[in-house]
Structure 1
Amino acid sequence: MIRLTAERTPAGTSYLATGQGQPVVLIHGVGLNKEMWGGQIVGLAPHFRVIAYDMLGHGASPRPAQGTELIGYAEQLLELLDHLGLTQAVVVGFSMGGLVARAFALHYPARLNGLAILNSVFNRSPEQRAGVIERTSQAAEHGPDANAEAALSRWFSREYQAANPAQIAAIRQTLASNDPLGYLTTYELFATQDMYRVDDLGSIQVATLVATGELDPGSTPEMARQLAERIPGAQAVVLEEQRHMMPVESPRLINQMLLNFLNRALAATPNVKEIVA
């Protein structure tokens, strides 16, 4: 079992790092923290240097300043890479983390050698946008766990919830324990930035994977396909019978998909050997 001790950058970002080789950075979703990536850390660390960190306003990282925009979250990742002495990394972003990964790719393209966007949002319909804005209002009024039960129902299958009550309870507690202002700042960006610099997405030149679950109601297959169409050469993957939290619910499936992608993304990188999973 891999046991890790969290470290901090000079700016206060809390992160975990393990493994050797090409760096792969994992960015969690809104309301969660770096601990959501346990299954991926175990699966990827034998092959890569895996880094997971707490987004601004989450976990043990500092709260974002009032009015922080999406670029501020990309700058947090830049500071982490600088602290670790990494010139480039493959960035894997889940949900809100996918928005941060997209922003990082647009603002700091030279620091990226692969991009994976999992269960993220793009080009919401008016109905979808109204729903997430309503959830933002509820979070502003009642706190980070205002929508916990509805969120868990969207995120996980009923079978998984029934079979893993302790884990579901822990995630519910994670949601409830978020800093209210940090959570709200992040959720407002999640609710409004799905079309962030949409006209510049064609400038992304690294290998890109856009994946979601067939049954993900908030990060739909159509969103994944539309986003992939905007990024040159991007691969769109829709995983059958998977819901939003597929990295947690189906880690082996997601790890195999990521290993296949990482082999492709890093194939042209000098001195990188292909991983046989």
Structure 2
Amino acid sequence: MMLLTAERTPAGTSYLATGQGQPVVLIHGVGLNKEMWGGQIVGLAPHYRVIAYDMLGHGASPRPATGTDLLGYAEQLRELLEHLHLPQATIIGFSMGGLIARAFALHYPQHTQGLVVLNSVFNRSPEQRAAVIERTRQVAQYGPNANAEAALTRWFSHEYQAANPAQIAALRQTLASNDPEGYLTTYELFATQDMYQVDQLDSIRVPTLISTGELDPGSTPQMAKELAELIPGAQVAVLAEQRHMMPVESPRLVNQVLLDFLNRAQTSENPAKGIVA
């Protein structure tokens, strides 16, 4: 088992780092923390330097100031890279982390070696937007635990939930223990920023992979394909029979997709565009 000790940047960001080689940074989803990446840390660290951190308002990192926007979350990542003396890294963001990864690539292209957006949102339909706004209202009224059971049902297959009750219970506890203000600030951004600087996406000129699960109801294959169309040279990988939390439910499958992309990106400025079923 790989045992890691969390460290902190001068600004208070809590992070884990292991492995050698080109740096890869992992950004978790709203309500979660850096611990969600255990399967990816084990799978990627033999080949890359892997850094996972707690976004603002989550885990052991500080709460975001009131009114913090996506740029503020991207600036947290910039401070982390500066602390680690890393001029560039490949940024891998999951769900809300995918929005932060996109914002980072837009605002800090000089620090972005590659971009991976996993199970993230883009161009929600009116119905999807109304549903997530309603969830935000519930979070504001009842706190981080407001949508936990519905979220777990969306995130995992029934089979995985039944086979891993201890892990599901731990995730339920993680959601419930979030700082209410930090969680709400982050969730409001998650609910409203799926079209963040959409007219600037064609300025992203690094190797890019957009991936989601075939059965992800909130971060759909259509979203992934539409987002990839706006980023020059972006690849799409839709993983068959996978739901939202595919990095946790199917780490070997996700790791293989990530390693294939990362290895190709090492040998090419921009991998050939394509759709992987």
TM-score category, normalised to shorter length: over 0.9
1:132 equivalent in structure 2: 132
| Residues 1:18 and 2:24 aligned together | no
Instruction: Report Cα offsets for 1:42-93 as digits up to 9, x if no partner.
Output: 0000000000000000000000000000000000000000000000000000
1:80 equivalent in structure 2: 80
Shift of 1:265: 1.7
Secondary structure, in 3 states, of the residue corresponding to 1:11?
A: coil
Matches within 5 A, 1:82-161: 82-161=82-161
Native 8 Å contact 1:113 1:265 kept in 2: no
Shift of 1:268: 4.1
Instruction: Report Cα offsets for 1:206-242 as digits up to 9, x if no partner.
Output: 0000000000000000000000000000001111100
**Residue identity matched to 1:161:** Q
What is the rounded CA distance, in whole Å, between the counterparts of 2:34 and 2:74 in structure 1?
A: 16
Secondary structure, in 3 states, of the residue corresponding to 2:223?
A: helix
What's the TM-score, normalizing by structure 2?
0.96
1:167 equivalent in structure 2: 167
Secondary structure, in 3 states, of the residue corresponding to 1:39?
A: helix
2:244 equivalent in structure 1: 244
**Residue identity matched to 2:67:** G
What's the TM-score, normalizing by structure 1?
0.96
Q: Work out the number of aligned pairs and report it.
A: 269
What is the rounded CA distance, in whole Å, between the counterparts of 1:83 and 1:18 in structure 2?
A: 15
What is the rounded CA distance, in whole Å, between the counterparts of 2:237 and 2:41 in structure 1?
A: 21
What is the rounded CA distance, in whole Å, between the counterparts of 1:256 and 1:241 in structure 2?
A: 16
1:215 equivalent in structure 2: 215
Instruction: Report Cα offsets for 1:94-138 as digits up to 9, x if no partner.
Output: 000000000000000010111000000000000000000000000
What is the rounded CA distance, in whole Å, between the counterparts of 1:72 and 1:47 in structure 2?
A: 30
**Residue identity matched to 1:181:** E
**Residue identity matched to 1:254:** V
What is the rounded CA distance, in whole Å, between the counterparts of 2:207 and 2:171 in structure 1?
A: 32
What is the rounded CA distance, in whole Å, between the counterparts of 1:267 and 1:145 in structure 2?
A: 44
Shift of 1:267: 1.5
What is the rounded CA distance, in whole Å, between the counterparts of 1:266 and 1:136 in structure 2?
A: 40
2:64 equivalent in structure 1: 64
What is the rounded CA distance, in whole Å, between the counterparts of 2:268 and 2:257 in structure 1?
A: 19
What is the rounded CA distance, in whole Å, between the counterparts of 2:268 and 2:202 in structure 1?
A: 21
- The unaligned stretches of length 5 or more in structure 2 are 270-277
**Residue identity matched to 1:100:** I
- The unaligned stretches of length 5 or more in structure 1 are 270-277
Native 8 Å contact 1:207 1:264 kept in 2: no
Identity between Structure 1 and Structure 2 (%) = 81
Matches within 5 A, 1:25-44: 25-44=25-44
RMSD: 0.6
Secondary structure, in 3 states, of the residue corresponding to 1:224?
A: helix
Native 8 Å contact 1:20 1:49 kept in 2: yes
Shift of 1:264: 1.6
2:274 equivalent in structure 1: none
**Residue identity matched to 2:9:** T
Secondary structure, in 3 states, of the residue corresponding to 1:171?
A: helix
